[in-house]
Chain A
Amino acid sequence: METILTVKNLTKKFNFLTAVNDLSFTIEKGNVYGILGPNGSGKSTTLGIVLNVVNKTNGDFFWFDGNTSTHQALKKVGAIIERPNFYPYMTAVQNLKLVCKIKDVPDSKIEEKLELVGLLDRKDSNFRTYSLGMKQRLAIASALLNDPEILILDEPTNGLDPQGIHQIREIIKKIASTGTTILLASHLLDEVEKVCSHVIILRKGVKLYSGRVDEMIASHGFFELKAGNEKALIDLLHNNPAFGSIKNENGLITAFLNEPMDATTFNEFLFKNGIILSHLVKRKESLEEQFLALTKNQSN
């Protein structure tokens, strides 16, 4: 698989504060990555370093095969970090023309990208007259001008109203569906869960986890059950080694699996033992539950 970004033992210290601590990960082509972590966990600093605006203290990183300089590589990258930064006195089109000059690409794609983010009718308005949501969408259009190998988004929905958040997410999904590699930093778990296939979890600058979202916790999922005869059901589950812990909350029984088992087998097993269910759902832990479990384990 083609590697887009390699980060090796990266460390950044701001005086006494270590913002990023010995961080290593790689970004492969074609996946959608999330960098997840609470505020101040080093997400933006990490992105700042690989984007050439923050100096690293230690460690190393390189783009693509490592043979291109960072600023050359960045011409093949689209990135927005924190707030959208443009020249307030210039129109959307003028700003994008400037970006084309910097990225060394022809400015033929400006209209197309403005159309994609829905700003075509406001293309000749000054940037300063835009709302935050429009600014953010212009930033995405600008990041896409070079049809980048990878799109980096740092908190793209921060500070937006629900409508704005929805618009941005739709755009991200649209881009992801074209096969563009995306790296999305966020502290919003459902945002990452909705669009990302891989996740890197940071806490206080330390990597807690990196890998596929669905493999984050070695878990086989759990069943949510309801039945008329609760006691018989719980006893039966206790005696089955395939189940770990069992919880009963107001008649909703949650049974965690120790080994893989599909719902059909399980239903058949219960039926043979004379238990008839009124409710059966097989689920995996949500990212939020996994994230909390992971950060809790590490804080002990």
Chain B
Amino acid sequence: MKRLLQIEFIKLWNNRASRILIIAYFILLTFIALFATINFDIGEVHFQLADQGIFNFPYIWHFNTYIAAFFKLFLAIVIVSMMSNEYSNKTIKQNLIDGLSKKEFILSKFLTVVVFSVISTVFIFVVSLVLGLFYSDYNEFSIIFSDLEYLIAFFVKLLGFFSFCLFLGIFVKRSAFALGFLILWQVFEGIFYGLVRWQTDGNIANSISQFLPLSAMSNLIKEPFSRLNAVQSVANQIGESYIKDYGVHWYEILIVLLWTYLFIYLSYALLKKRDL
């Protein structure tokens, strides 16, 4: 396993574009801290985002994982190209001839994806913990370490998404087209949801589309904004009360894990079946 990771590390780290994107990704993750400095001064009202409770434990776990997940697109580019470059450079052929089995090849890519997801999760854990300790109104141990399931959801979300990218890279073989396909798929899921909703109703559309890969991944961490105290109180004043389930559910995690398995399995099956 160490050998496979080393192989992939040599390939990735010596590629300048990948290296820059990876570094940029982690720098951007730390920029979440910049939310703390957002200030508005509207006449008498002095507004600082950090004071609105977004960095309160345990809400911060929800908020930060949700925001951080947007940056996954940077790593998506790295992952798609690390797969499709093997095809365009024909190095996949040489790797196999040199004695890497097809299983090891897929495994080395998948392990890299797992490592990316783990490091991202640990990273966001540390950044959130530090931010929280600075700004949170509650600093009791039990509160700090509650709602940690958002980190699990974050990890699974990245794992599923990166596995999807891996599969697209192997399936399409060209990085630009693979990324285009990713966007196309997102549009497809949107249209599908719209069609079902149009024919039936929102509940049925939701319950069907939650099984689609990208919808399943985005369902893992719901938007945290309407959960903010400020927003809640505004909503209450205009007579609208939000009763929304913000939790992370085991079946949502299961759906994404099943997709992950499917993507990796399909990548392997595709590689096995193809002549290079």
A residues whose Cβ falls under 8 Å from a Cβ of B: 48, 51-55, 69-72, 74-75, 77, 79, 81, 83, 85-90, 94, 97-99, 101-104, 142
The yes or no answer to B69 lying at the interface (CB within 8 A) is no
Residue numbers in A under 8 Å from B91 (CB-CB): 85-87
A74 to B93, CA, bound (A): 13
Residue numbers in A under 8 Å from B275 (CB-CB): 48, 53-55
The yes or no answer to B249 lying at the interface (CB within 8 A) is no
B276 touches A85 (CB 8 A): no
A207 to B6, CA, bound (A): 43
Residue numbers in A under 8 Å from B10 (CB-CB): 90, 94, 97-98, 101
The yes or no answer to B99 lying at the interface (CB within 8 A) is yes
The yes or no answer to B95 lying at the interface (CB within 8 A) is yes
B95 touches A87 (CB 8 A): no
A101 touches B94 (CB 8 A): no
B89 touches A88 (CB 8 A): yes
B14 touches A86 (CB 8 A): no
Q: Which of B90, B98, B102 has the most C-beta atoms of chain A within 10 angstroms of its own C-beta?
A: B98
The yes or no answer to B96 lying at the interface (CB within 8 A) is yes
Instruction: Knowing A71-B104, A101-B3, A104-B3, say if A53 contacts B89 (CB, 8 Å).
Output: no
The yes or no answer to B101 lying at the interface (CB within 8 A) is yes
Residue numbers in B under 8 Å from A98 (CB-CB): 7, 10-11
B93 touches A85 (CB 8 A): yes
3 closest residue pairs by CB, A with B: A71-B101, A75-B99, A74-B99
* 16 pairs, CB–CB < 8 Å, chain A vs chain B: A48-B276, A52-B96, A53-B275, A55-B273, A71-B96, A71-B104, A74-B96, A74-B99, A77-B99, A81-B93, A83-B90, A87-B89, A87-B91, A94-B14, A98-B10, A101-B6
A74 touches B98 (CB 8 A): yes
Please give me the residue from chain A that is nearest to B10 by CB atom: A98
Residue numbers in B under 8 Å from A74 (CB-CB): 96-99
The yes or no answer to B46 lying at the interface (CB within 8 A) is no
Instruction: Knowing A69-B101, A90-B14, say if A53 contacts B3 (CB, 8 Å).
Output: no
> What are the interface flags for B1-36 relative to A under an 8 Å C-beta threshold, 1 for contact and 0 otherwise?
001001100110011100000000000000000000
A87 touches B11 (CB 8 A): yes
* Distance (whole angstroms) from the CB of B97 to the closest CB of chain A: 5
A116 to B11, CA, bound (A): 25
For window 187-224 of B, CB contacts with A under 8 Å fall at none
B95 touches A102 (CB 8 A): yes
A102 touches B98 (CB 8 A): yes
Please give me the residue from chain A that is nearest to B7 by CB atom: A101
Please give me the residue from chain A that is nearest to B275 by CB atom: A54
* Distance (whole angstroms) from the CB of B270 to the closest CB of chain A: 12
Residue numbers in A under 8 Å from B14 (CB-CB): 87, 89-90, 94
Instruction: Knowing A98-B10, A102-B7, A104-B3, say if A86 contacts B89 (CB, 8 Å).
Output: yes
Please give me the residue from chain A that is nearest to B276 by CB atom: A53
* Distance (whole angstroms) from the CB of B77 to the closest CB of chain A: 16
B93 touches A89 (CB 8 A): no
Please give me the residue from chain B that is nearest to A126 by CB atom: B14
> What are the interface flags for B154-167 relative to A under an 8 Å C-beta threshold, 1 for contact and 0 otherwise?
00000000000000
- Not counting A53-B276, A101-B3, a sample of 17 additional A-B residue pairs whose C-beta atoms are within 8 angstroms of each other reads A51-B97, A53-B93, A53-B97, A55-B272, A55-B275, A69-B101, A71-B104, A74-B96, A74-B99, A75-B99, A85-B93, A86-B91, A87-B11, A87-B89, A99-B98, A103-B99, A104-B99
The yes or no answer to B114 lying at the interface (CB within 8 A) is no
A54 touches B276 (CB 8 A): yes
Please give me the residue from chain B that is nearest to A75 by CB atom: B99
A87 to B276, CA, bound (A): 17
* Distance (whole angstroms) from the CB of B268 to the closest CB of chain A: 14
Residue numbers in B under 8 Å from A90 (CB-CB): 10, 14-15
Residue numbers in B under 8 Å from A94 (CB-CB): 10, 14
Residue numbers in B under 8 Å from A54 (CB-CB): 275-276
A85 touches B101 (CB 8 A): no
B99 touches A53 (CB 8 A): no
B90 touches A85 (CB 8 A): yes
A172 to B191, CA, bound (A): 61
A90 to B15, CA, bound (A): 7
* Distance (whole angstroms) from the CB of A50 to the closest CB of chain B: 10
A51 to B96, CA, bound (A): 8
Please give me the residue from chain A that is nearest to B95 by CB atom: A102
The yes or no answer to B100 lying at the interface (CB within 8 A) is yes
A52 touches B3 (CB 8 A): no
